[in-house]
Structure 1
Amino acid sequence: MQAHPLRLYPGDDLRAAIENVLQKDKLRAAFVIQGIGSLSVAQLRFAGAEHPTEIRGDLEILTVAGSVSPDGAHLHMSIADARGQVFGGHVARGCKVRTTAELLLALLPAHAFFREPDPHTGFAELVIREVS
């Protein structure tokens, strides 16, 4: 496992930036262990919803975590608005960094992650393989 700190800048798309780390380094598996920072726009898909909900304003990232594969990321995030109201859900593209986002990724060069249809859930779920 290799620790990979990542700092994002105003206007960066949180999910796209995380996914780009694997593409840039030609890696096949990583976990986002934690993240903090701020957003001006959040795109969160709430449990059971088909589409993300857009939330705008001065938003604080409380937590962000998940898995990343060449097929894409499966990330969950909790945010708080300027009144302290907390929202959480699945991270979609379009989460725009307001001032900064500071993330810690764990790169797993000995593994490969894939998303494949799971007959039990009906969704494309994580498949983990060791690579040599």
Structure 2
Amino acid sequence: MQALPLRLNPGDDLRASVVAALAASGHAAGFVLQGIGSLSVAQLRFAGVPHPSELRGDLEILTLAGSISPDGAHLHMTVSDAQGRVMGGHLGAGCIVRTTAELLLALLPGQRFTREHDPLTGYAELKIS
């Protein structure tokens, strides 16, 4: 395993930046071990709901974790709003960094992650090779 720390800047798209970091590293498999920071926009898909909900405002990233492949990422995140309410779910595209995001990626040399349709779940699920 190879560690890759990242710092994202205001205006960066969180999900796109994580996928781009894996591509730039030349690896084909990785995990986000943890992430903290802040967002101005979060896109979270809650359990059993087909589309993400957009949250706007001053949001703190409390946790961020998941797998990354050249096919995309499967990330889960919890955020809190300015009143301390906590929400979490599947991270969608369009999460915009407010001040900073600090992440630790684990790159997995010799591994390849892909996403393939799984008839049992109906979703594109992780395949490890």
TM-score, length-normalised on structure 1? 0.96
> 1:120 aligns to what?
120
1:24-39 alignment to 2 at 5 Å?
24-39=24-39
Structure 1 residues not aligned, in runs of 5+: none
After superposition, the C-alpha distances for 1:40-60 in whole angstroms (9 at most, x for unaligned) are 000111111111100000000
Q: Tell me if 1:14 matches 2:14.
A: yes
CA distance in 1, matches of 2:119, 2:59: 37
The answer to whether 1:41 aligns with 2:44 is no
Q: Secondary structure of the residue that 1:24 maps to in structure 2?
A: helix
- Out of 116-125 and 89-98, give the one that drifted further: 116-125
Q: Comparing 107-116 with 20-29, which one deviates more in the overlay?
A: 20-29
Q: Give the gaps of 5 or more residues in structure 2.
A: none
> Identity rate of aligned residues, in percent?
69
Superposed CA deviations along residues 73-93 of structure 1, whole A, max 9, x for unmatched, are: 000000000000000011111
Aligned match of 2:67: 67
Aligned length: 129
Could you tell me how far 1:14 is from its partner in structure 2? Answer: 0.2
- Report what 2:81 is aligned to: 81
1:23-43 Cα deviation digits (max 9, x unpaired): 112210000000000000001
Amino acid at match of 2:75: L
How large is the RMSD of aligned CA atoms in angstroms? Answer: 0.7
For residues 62 and 116 of structure 1, what CA distance do their matches in structure 2 show? 30
Q: SS in structure 2 opposite 1:74?
A: strand
